[in-house]
Structure 1
Amino acid sequence: MREGALHDGAGRLLDPGYATREVRRYDRAAISAEPVRIKEWDYYCILDADFGLALTVADNGYAGFLGVSWMDLRGKGFVNHGALIPAPMGAMALPPSADSGDIVHAQDGLELAFRHERGGRRLTVHAPGYDEGRGLSGEIWLGQPDMDRMVIATPFADDPHAFYYNQKINCMPARGRVKIGGESYDFAPENAFAVLDWGRGVWTYDNVWYWGSASGLVDGCPFGFNIGYGFGDTSAASENMLFVDGRAHKLDQVAFHMPAGAPDSGPWRFTSNDGRFELDFAPAVNRWAKVDAGMIKTEQDQVFGWFSGRVILDDGTPMQVRDLPGFAEKVWNRW
């Protein structure tokens, strides 16, 4: 992708493809679709080898959502908590850039804030109703050094006004504390890292997507990846990338090989058409969710665990990955 606006005057994507920084300008007013069809969200996931925290602010047109989830990888448990915002259709004013604009929202006692500060981002959460009143609160600082990211603009072949503009920022070192009930959990930048999933788009009604992500240290070097497929016309580019010490290494096609039983019933395997991404995944906990509300249906399996195997960088250098914390998911939506 090149610098410029994301859409033309008719609301069509100007330049489908990928980049390693935010080059296209998103403008909600340029979208040629009813407000109820526009989907916008910011999702952060912070992980170390033992625990994970996921925070979501989403405006999905017909419904807004604030969400917080805590994952215990060793204990193989999770708790989801959230609040719905009726039919915001843009009223949540999510920013048009992943690099500026703060998000501060509260609903039904749940408060979330994602703020930009010099050198990084500060996330705060206050959820007194979490886990039947046990309560969760915390503040996490995410450092953001100068580094590449995954940016992709994806059209949909059967709808010229549908699109997905997505950014994934991996390998943000995390520092902070989360309190759950009377217990405290600390994230330290030596072993805890975050990813931001920043999404803006207009989706077709029925879609399945696959997404995997991990961030950490490999041989003392910041390392991460983003992999995924399953929706839209990806002929211009895939979203598959490695990140090593701040630099992106573009991959072609990656396939997910899931266990025959439940998503967390056995190991997953990942292969690439060029042999550059060959990893196994040992699942620990499945953060699942299911909604069946007439025309709106979703089934989500986001499985957390550890990746191991071999990847190959752009220059042919191999890297061995061992027990890297991350997640892989399969999501089906009718929305």
Structure 2
Amino acid sequence: MERLIQADGQPCYGLFPHSPALINYRDFDFRSPMGRRLGALAKWRRFHQFQYFGLMGEQLIGGCALAHLSLVSIAFVYLYHPPSGRLLERRFKAPLGLGSRFSQAPDDGVCTFRRGRNHLRLENRADEGLRRVRVELDDGLVLDASFREAADEAGEGEAARPFQPLCICTPVASTGWTFARKVAGVRCHGEVSGPLGRFDLATLDTFAHHDWSAGFMRPETCWRWACLSGWVDGRRVGLNLACGVNETSFTENCFWLDGELIKVDSVAFRFDRDDPLQPWTITSFDGQVELTFQGVGLHRERLDLLIMASHFRQVFGRFHGTLRPRGRPSVSIDGLWGFVEDHYAKW
């Protein structure tokens, strides 16, 4: 599919094997809930996009995100070192996206955010299947991490198989839509250096998660999300679960075994909203997922500008429980690192 928005001005809905080459949101026939056609200014105001790159491993866990919300662009990066318990985190905001650049090509584009000597860059290359994050901060932190969506862990004499990403577009509210492309359970390469020390991500067996999302989301929304990645009995395992966004007709819930995507039904999150570091319970309606999560630390963002607001809490910690793919042996999850998230937004 070359473009998400078709000739009739509507997006193509469903689950896709690959991303559209372009999220051509300007071609969307955007309407008010009462059917009035809306113009370019309304499209600019209501279209939001973000990209996230997460790292998961025994020596390092963290994330980097860039978000463009029309009136403001937001960026953050944080790194947690489990052996020492040290956490580094930085947050940046730019009115009207000044100093930022966002591509609407999920597989072949660059998103950047620059503030003074702080530079954050998320790069995707279709010809290489490459996903890369590059961060340079004024405190000396340099993060350069990447992965390729191929089964590069294939054994001797085995052919590498392409990774199966989750690509989904669903209706949202009365007239909107959301597109998401997600990956988890891939090995990460690169280096991190700075106040926490120097780390070779491949040597430390670090895994990655990637999320590219955009669309005309609900003006006031909330969601919960969970993700994990790592080795289980010699297999690469990844997981992506959510409720609150992509649930109209289709869900984004799934897990990966050695790059193979396995869909999951709707999920329920149970947790203490006053203390998200308390244990979480996450279960799927179809019985394929039964997990608990124990938080170790969290990254928090709060923004209240009257016409815009965000209460974002991303918790990092360890998962325990069971994945039960239909017709296959169960997969026991015993202490894999990952994330959960509780997010309210008015935009």
Q: Give the structure-2-normalised TM-score.
A: 0.85
What residue is the counterpart of 2:135 in the other structure? Answer: 125
1:1-12 map, 5 Å: 3=1, 5-9=3-7, 11-12=9-10
Find out whether 1:215 has 2:229 as its counterpart. Answer: yes
- Measured in 2, the distance between the counterparts of 1:196 and 1:170 equals 7
Which of these residues, 14, 22, 28, is aligned with residue 19 of structure 2? 22
Find out whether 1:180 has 2:194 as its counterpart. Answer: yes
1:136-151 map, 5 Å: 136-145=141-150, 146-151=162-167
Identify the structure with the greater strand proportion. 1
1:241-256 map, 5 Å: 241-256=254-269
Residue 173 (structure 1) shift: 1.3
Q: 1:204-246 CA distances to partner (integer Å, 9 max, x unpaired)?
A: 21101011111111111111111001136x2311111010011
Which of these residues, 51, 54, 58, is aligned with residue 45 of structure 1? 54
- Measured in 2, the distance between the counterparts of 1:122 and 1:5 equals 23
Q: Which runs of 5+ in 2 are unaligned?
A: 31-41, 151-161
- Measured in 2, the distance between the counterparts of 1:24 and 1:235 equals 23
Residue 252 (structure 1) shift: 0.6
Seen in structure 2, the aligned counterparts of structure 1 residues 221 and 210 have a Cα distance that, compared at 3 Å, is same
- Measured in 1, the distance between the counterparts of 2:102 and 2:92 equals 17
Calculate percent identity across the aligned residue pairs.
Answer: 23
**SS of aligned partner of 1:34:** helix
Seen in structure 2, the aligned counterparts of structure 1 residues 182 and 304 have a Cα distance that, compared at 3 Å, is closer
Query: Residue 54 of structure 2 contacts residue 63 of structure 2 at CA under 8 Å; is this kept in 1?
Result: yes
- Measured in 1, the distance between the counterparts of 2:343 and 2:232 equals 29
Residue 137 (structure 1) shift: 1.3
Find out whether 1:81 has 2:90 as its counterpart. Answer: yes
What residue is the counterpart of 1:131 in the other structure? Answer: none
Residue 292 (structure 1) shift: 1.5
Q: 1:74-122 CA distances to partner (integer Å, 9 max, x unpaired)?
A: 5555333133222139x95522332212334422221122334635333
- Measured in 2, the distance between the counterparts of 1:100 and 1:119 equals 9
Amino acid of the structure 2 residue aligned with 1:301? R
Which of these residues, 282, 293, 316, is aligned with residue 305 of structure 2? 293
- Measured in 1, the distance between the counterparts of 2:259 and 2:269 equals 25
- Measured in 1, the distance between the counterparts of 2:275 and 2:237 equals 29
Query: Residue 226 of structure 2 contacts residue 339 of structure 2 at CA under 8 Å; is this kept in 1?
Result: yes
- Measured in 2, the distance between the counterparts of 1:262 and 1:217 equals 29
Amino acid of the structure 2 residue aligned with 1:281? F
Find out whether 1:114 has 2:133 as its counterpart. Answer: no
**SS of aligned partner of 1:68:** strand
- Measured in 2, the distance between the counterparts of 1:270 and 1:122 equals 30
Calculate the aligned-residue CA RMSD, in Å. 2.4
Q: 1:258-287 CA distances to partner (integer Å, 9 max, x unpaired)?
A: 1364000x2111111111100111211121
Find out whether 1:326 has 2:331 as its counterpart. Answer: no
- Measured in 2, the distance between the counterparts of 1:70 and 1:203 equals 29
What residue is the counterpart of 2:11 in the other structure? Answer: 13
- Measured in 2, the distance between the counterparts of 1:274 and 1:116 equals 34
1:249-328 map, 5 Å: 249-259=262-272, 261-264=274-277, 266-328=278-340
Query: Residue 72 of structure 2 contacts residue 93 of structure 2 at CA under 8 Å; is this kept in 1?
Result: yes
Seen in structure 2, the aligned counterparts of structure 1 residues 83 and 277 have a Cα distance that, compared at 3 Å, is same
**SS of aligned partner of 1:98:** coil
Q: Give the structure-1-normalised TM-score.
A: 0.87
Amino acid of the structure 2 residue aligned with 1:110? N
Number of corresponding residues: 322
Q: Which runs of 5+ in 1 are unaligned?
A: 129-133
- Measured in 2, the distance between the counterparts of 1:247 and 1:67 equals 30
Which deviates more from structure 2 when the two are superposed, residues 102-111 or residues 202-211? 102-111
Q: 1:279-332 CA distances to partner (integer Å, 9 max, x unpaired)?
A: 111211121221122221111111111111111113343111111110111100
